[in-house]
Amino acid sequence: MRKRSHRGYRQLIESDLEIMPLMNLFVALIPMLLISAVFLKVSAIDMQLPSDDAEADVSSISADALNLSVRIRDDEYVVQGRRLSRRVVIRKSEDAETKLSSILEGIKHDHPENEELVIVSQPNTRYDDIVRVMDISRGSGMGAISLLGDSGY
């Protein structure tokens, strides 16, 4: 039998692992990754989408429901509902959002039980306009907002 030399064993243990090149790589890569990263603020808007079951929708609508809606057109907001007079706000006026807010607040004051509002938008309506009307509606006290697309002009 051949004896192992203790000298070879000690040389194996005493050798160092070179991690400096790896550390240098990390020192260079981590700041570059942080600089090139894109940080986004993620937010969500609570909405109720119309259900596919039309019969359930018809049966759930009571005779007392207002069916309040805000129709966003290119040049105007149209607020209408059951047992309500149709109100039109010209969008190009400076105080259009204030007028829309006061109309919705008046409806909420007259009908405090009503929490539902449907926003009807056209296919070419900008997303910012829809979100602005949603914010105005929430600020007026309408908690349950639905979104509906209108294909007809």
The correct CATH number of 54-149 out of 1.10.150, 3.30.420, 3.30.70, 3.40.50 is: 3.30.420
What pTM was estimated for this model as a whole?
0.56
Number of C-beta neighbours around residue 6 at 10 A? 8
Q: Which residue has the higher pLDDT, 2 or 19?
A: 19
Domain boundaries, the chain: 54-149
What pLDDT was estimated at residue 138?
A: 87
**Is 136:97 a contact under the CB 8 Å cutoff?**
yes
**In this structure, what is the dihedral angle of CA atoms 37, 32, 25, 27, given to the nearest 10 degrees?**
-100
Number of C-beta neighbours around residue 89 at 10 A? 19
What pLDDT was estimated at residue 54?
A: 45
Give yes or no for residue 110 having a pLDDT over 80.
Answer: yes
pLDDT digits (tens, 9 = 90+) for 39-77: 777 777 666 655 555 445 544 555 567 788 889 888 888
Give yes or no for residue 3 having a pLDDT over 50.
Answer: yes
Q: How far is CA 27 from CA 39, 57, 101, in A?
A: 21, 61, 55
pLDDT digits (tens, 9 = 90+) for 116-136: 888 888 888 888 888 888 888
Give yes or no for residue 8 having a pLDDT over 70.
Answer: no
What pLDDT was estimated at residue 113?
A: 84
Tokens found for residue 121: 């938008």
Can you tell me the distance from the alpha carbon of 144 to that of 50, in angstroms, rounded to the nearest whole number? 12
pLDDT digits (tens, 9 = 90+) for 84-107: 888 888 888 888 888 988 988 888
Can you tell me the distance from the alpha carbon of 89 to that of 99, in angstroms, rounded to the nearest whole number? 7
Q: Which of 81, 89, 129, 128 lies closest to 108, judged by CA?
A: 81
What pLDDT was estimated at residue 29?
A: 92
What pLDDT was estimated at residue 50?
A: 56
Can you tell me the distance from the alpha carbon of 5 to that of 59, in angstroms, rounded to the nearest whole number? 92
**Which position has the token pair 């959002």?**
97
Q: How far is CA 120 from CA 18, 28, 129, 144, in A?
A: 66, 53, 11, 14
